[in-house]
Structure 1
């Protein structure tokens, strides 16, 4: 089983939406049984909370199901997940610091947009302080990035679709 973790700051906007997009794509491809996915935040701001209402609205508009409560990334995540994907540079730095602190120096942490051709090194913007249009923007960014990520994983692990 290939384990994928999407990480943002509070785990109520970008990462739960990324998880939902990923889950829909693997379900549609008929390969969902080969994956376990989750999302988490680097902060403890929203532990136990539902995703932002704008995230839920955006997900609904795109026929995505979100069944998630906010949680903070932990040592077990760093040990157990094969792919840990940060939404931005700040969270990437935090995750890299955590892997050093917890003794997982060899663990590779990825940046979400590195899987979208022409967007490598860029962050997925945080829509929290904006309006609903920001959530649509990140949906588009995440959809493209996850498509690229999934293609790479399918090729790397020789998964038959």
Structure 2
């Protein structure tokens, strides 16, 4: 199973989701069954490391964030089984480049997998806010990633 987490610039939300999911997958010993990456719909931060505030919030919880931002490509629709977007704007951007209906069917909001979702399926962008926003993002993506892992197990993908 190959998962691609997607946000706007690939420096806050999607690398956080990638790191949280990597940690969960490692805890469960599923590294050989689930591949994980992240990307952004925009190119502004390509090559940059994750936002230092995201990295610090993750580190405080024992989660390692690494890598460099990259932009989503059409090839990602072939390479990944699920493209998990942070919000509706990212879903729209992904649908705009999806090569066909089959590829578009791989696009989901990440929080669709949060069993306790409160109706709002967006992972808010913490970039222009304070440090609490980065903590909130980790809380949201952790719940969604746990739900995603449970779904993958229930559907026997892992």
Which TM-score band (shorter chain)?
over 0.9
In the alignment, which residue of structure 2 is the partner of 1:41? 40
Give the total of aligned pairs: 155
Query: 1:9-158 alignment to 2 at 5 Å?
Result: 9-99=8-98, 102=99, 104-107=100-103, 108=105, 109-119=107-117, 122-157=121-156
Separation of aligned partners in 1, 2:116 and 2:149: 17
SS of equivalent residue, structure 1 residue 55 = helix
Separation of aligned partners in 2, 1:11 and 1:144: 20
TM-score scaled by structure 1? 0.92
SS of equivalent residue, structure 1 residue 32 = coil
Which range moves more in the overlay, 146-155 or 109-118?
109-118
SS of equivalent residue, structure 1 residue 5 = strand
Measured on the aligned residues, the alpha-carbon RMSD in Å equals: 1.1
TM-score scaled by structure 2? 0.94
In the alignment, which residue of structure 2 is the partner of 1:5? 4
Separation of aligned partners in 2, 1:127 and 1:150: 24
